[in-house]
Structure 1
Amino acid sequence: MSKITLIATAAMGIEALVAKEVRDLGYENVVVDNGKVTFEADESAICRTNLWLRTADRVKIKIGEFKATTFDELFEKTKALPWGDYIPEDAEFPVIGKSVKSKLFSVPDCQAIVKKAIVEKLRIHYKRTTWFEEKGPLFRIEVALLKDIATLTIDTSGVGLHKRGYRADQGEAPLKETLAATLVLLTNWTHDRPFVDPFCGSGTIPIEAALIGQNIAPGFNREFVSENWDWIGRKRWEEAIQEAEDLAKYDRPLDITGSDIDHKMIEIAKGNAMEAGLGDLISFKQMQVKDFTTKKEYGVIVGNPPYGERLGEKKAVEEMYKEMGKAFAPYNTWSVYMLTSHPEFEKLYGKPATKKRKLFNGFIRTDYYQFWEKRPPKNQ
């Protein structure tokens, strides 16, 4: 194999950000689509993208794509694909599936047919008459049908990329690490400026900011299913890990603070930061947002405050939004970025956003309100 096609899956609304990350890693022929970014690369890209992509959900190998309106067509076209190039003889290869607006709408049937077609192809490839035992490395295959187009992929990540490996504990409604990184990357923050999260919860946003600030690969602290694949090989993984180590700026000073009203969450956040190896870099303190004060300039405030979605919470949340607007108002060199589903946020906060961007926090449709202030002077 020289060139392979990879798909980085993404939450709705952040595909362009994932595409930028892919291009920044040096990959070309990047195509952006709903919920995914497709690009061409070599085998080492499987290691590098899994280690480095901060905002993608997972990385998959695209094995084939074709129109299928009958089960026969699905079987024959699946069987025609080069499965033996990817799947070893002892592999475990379960098939998962989904179908949207397609004639072949029975997902279990599609999964069974794809599995049967792959088994047939591998029997020819490995010259076998007996069944495969499937006791070796895992190759999770997906058949995804959208408007009668079947896309067949193999997952290279294993556990989703949002699982960085540092979150030992969390609160009730934790923000996904990938969304936290998105919130940071959508700001104008740079590592030489103060960064504050006044609703830090279990510390996810400050930790992701610190990883970005020191250029630490987000996947550095975890394992991936494709590490066990012989055709990628240990050497490629070791080279990718070494590259990540060489590019990290562990001695770069950062000014990052997380605060929360709940002292229990502050303890959890401290523990998670220690787990990420960033315990000395981030200051955590118990505090209400209305008590925010600072003598620093040109900072960035990023928060995922309560939305007031639950019964009985709305009034308190609305009052807190007003207090937040008043607390931040005196600091005209600080830019503020807030994620909430509350439709009246700007009115309660007391001023219109410079820009807002639609994002999904899980299944909740939210807006990311951005209040831009003065940028630091050049050569400061």
Structure 2
Amino acid sequence: MDGMSAAPTTPAAPDGRGVVRRIVHVDMDAFYASVEVRDRPELRGLPVAVAHDSRRGVVLTASYEARTYGVRSAMPTRMAQARCPHLILVPPRMDVYRQVSERIRAVFARYTDLVEPLSLDEAYLDVTDPREGPRSGTLIARAVKADILRETGLTASAGVSHTKFLAKVASDLHKPDGLTVIRPEEAQAVIDALPIAAFHGVGPATARRMAEHGIRTGADLRAQTLADLRAWFGAHGEHYHRVSRGVDERPVAPDRERKSVGVERTFETDLRTLSEVRAALPALAAALAVRAARAGYAGRSVVLKLKFADHSVVTRRTGGAPPAPDAAQFEALGAALLTPQLLAGRRVRLVGLSVTGHVPDTRTEPLQPRLFPLP
């Protein structure tokens, strides 16, 4: 990224030897939809959504042409079709996406052993000490993108910086097929200009709460004291204080094992009745289905989480057979866990759904099972 002003107050995130890290975040562009368009060239340039064509179906991925109509991931299929009447629905082929993902992971492994998977189509790479090629995060990111395109026919966007947070921000700035670098001396200016919703962990409800305190950008967030952020946002306040100053020392963790996949929603107005809480489940279940699919994650149990107005928390989980990884099943199981006794007249501030207890997926034979294990 050119033309950014220097910001010497932002630390350069050295590793344990005092070397400034080179972190690359790679994010495939509209991955599932792009695989379908690659395999069916007649779809090129048309609005495509990967989704089951059913009353309860949700969009897993939308092509960029579909996104211009407001079609988004986790959107109910019927709503997507209402926004784009000529939307082409393609059923997901998870076995194909896993096979393509393994080929992409093999590309990563050529350059570094330090690869942290986030989903089938997204990963962090620490290329501070690359296995081959130049000692330049930018040149390695360019080579990774070129290898992926040549070997899979798909484009990826990449971000390069000295922290995981900034590498992720960079990869989002110029999609699709982008390559963006945020250097240490540019970092604070980039952070200051970010809308608050671009910060990890800031959902719509938190963004609205921040707006009530005059926080709409990274610069606004950085202007707040740690004491105020803790008072307003509890334990999350310290994270917001650090990340607004470019402090992110999290390592790229190749052995990180995903123990669960979940989604939560905090409500501006507390929910008071069982029916109000139940009405929140369809959207959460749809989002959970998309997140679990992207992560390649199947679990043994569905967990319902409720946080009450007094900040107390209760969770309930299913037993028995592993749930089918779809929105309708997640919603039904969440609703079954929701009982009048669970609320006991208390007001609900947050509702969460997650799937936990990873079940290895054996439906396809991975090409390189030890290079880059599924989360």
TM-score (norm 2): 0.23
TM-score (norm 1): 0.23
Highest CA radius of gyration, 1 or 2? 1
User: With CA pairs under 8 Å and 6+ residues apart, which has the higher RCO, 1 or 2?
Assistant: 2
